[in-house]
Amino acid sequence: MTQDAPKQHTPETFAAWLREVMTRRGYPERGGQKKFAQDAGLSAPTVSRLLRADGLPDTRTLEALATALRVGLPEILVRAGVVKQEDLANLRPIDPNPITPREAAAELGITSPEGIEAFERMVNGLRAVETDERSANG
């Protein structure tokens, strides 16, 4: 591994990092595990398994760890090996306001007025079908 190569995150490196952060947050190695599990809303066996490097947690567990440790979820995801640090830079934030069909067409490279109009008709037609199906099933 060269100095420029990104660090590989494994269950073992995640366990070591988790143990270190738990200690810094006031959960000592001896006796702190059960208290941390309670504070994080996790089972003691789940925390024990993570500290033994016995696999990696699911995303709900990672979210609970992030909250309990006061660490950003992106850092936890990188440490757990779920995503690479460089991949985080490529993520777009989730916009609470959905894009319009016209904006979606532009993102897809549809630029002709006829193409945009056809795309908008298709999207609006699909929305109507979805609304009808939800009404029928709900």
Residue pLDDT, tens place only, 44-93: 999 999 999 998 789 999 999 999 999 999 999 999 988 888 888 777 77
Q: How many domains in the chain?
A: 2
Confidence label for 98 from pLDDT (cuts 50, 70 and 90): confident
Nearest to 62 by CA among 75, 49, 52: 75
What does the pLDDT read at residue 3?
43
Domain assignment present for 3: no
Nearest to 1 by CA among 15, 18, 13: 13
Cα first-last separation, the chain = 56
Regarding whether 54 and 21 lie in a shared domain, the answer is: yes
Regarding whether 116 and 74 lie in a shared domain, the answer is: no
What's the domain range around 120?
101-137
Regarding whether 133 and 69 lie in a shared domain, the answer is: no
Domain assignment present for 4: no
Separation CA 32–CA 113 (nearest Å): 64
